Amino acid sequence: MDRIGKIVFYEDKNFQGRNYECNSDCPELNTHFNRCNSVRVESGCWVMYERPNYMGSQYVLTKGEYPDYQRWMGYNDSIRSCRIIRNTTGQFKVRVYERPDFSGQMQEFTEDVSNLPDHWRCREVPSAHVMDGAWVFFEHPNYRGHQYLLERGEYRRFTEWGAMHPTVGSLRRVQDF
């Protein structure tokens, strides 16, 4: 089932300057605006990417207003592609493993975890299996650092969700409010 969503990008802070409304996945936003300093998510859940073709740093946004790029934990004003998140089912389950290929100890989560080391003896998550919903893995506790969207499926190695290293400090469910 395709989800309907609407996101509006603004070149300047506080929803000023040239803007572009988007209702579907867009692998190349360069032709619509030069920089992105604020965003309004009117419906749906979205993942924005720093580079074209869904590459680079990821930023997951739910419905709401983001008057400057620090509000979505952006590192700069470069947003070059986006897509709607389709696995916001209302049910959530993820399994994390201590080694690649789903080996070693496993821990299952169904709720947000602000500090993974408090619940999981390992600081690293080399593999994961998203059984239900969509999740965001954050590099640091308290939902900080690089973000990685994991939708329903198997991730045998951390590189499959786009990470350079297996460090996960917190994880959050993607919920369409």
Averaged over 98-105, what is the pLDDT?
96
- pLDDT bucket at 1, cuts 50 / 70 / 90: very low
Q: Which residues have CB under 8 Å from 71's CB, separation 6+?
A: none
CATH entry 3.40.50.1970 includes domain 6-84: no
Each domain of the chain, given as residue ranges in start order, spans: 6-84, 93-173
- pLDDT bucket at 3, cuts 50 / 70 / 90: low
**How much is the pLDDT for 122?**
82
> Residues 115, 151: contact at Cβ < 8 Å?
no
Q: How far apart are CA 168 and CA 171, in angstroms?
A: 8
Reply yes or no on whether the pLDDT at 157 is more than 60.
Answer: yes
> For domain 93-173, which architecture applies?
Sandwich (2.60)
Burial class (CB in 10 A: 0-12, 13-18, 19+), 177: exposed
Reply yes or no on whether the pLDDT at 6 is more than 90.
Answer: yes
Distance between start and end Cα atoms, the chain:
18
Reply yes or no on whether the pLDDT at 37 is more than 90.
Answer: yes
Q: How far apart are CA 166 and CA 79, in angstroms?
A: 24
Q: Give the up-direction half-sphere exposure of residue 97: CA atoms within 13 A in the CB hemisphere.
A: 16
Q: Which two tokens stand for residue 30?
A: 């360069």
Averaged over 96-119, what is the pLDDT?
96
Judge whether 6-84 and 93-173 match in fold.
yes
Reply yes or no on whether the pLDDT at 2 is more than 80.
Answer: no
Q: Which of 122, 85, 92 is nearest to 107 (CA)?
A: 122
Name the more confident of 88 and 168: 168
**How much is the pLDDT for 139?**
95
**Structure confidence by residue, pLDDT tens digits, 69-97:** 999 988 889 999 999 998 766 799 999 99
Q: What percent of the chain has a predicted confidence (pLDDT) above 70?
A: 95
Q: What mean pLDDT is reported for the chain?
A: 93
Write down the pTM of the prediction: 0.87
**How much is the pLDDT for 86?**
82
* Cβ count within 10 A of residue 115: 13
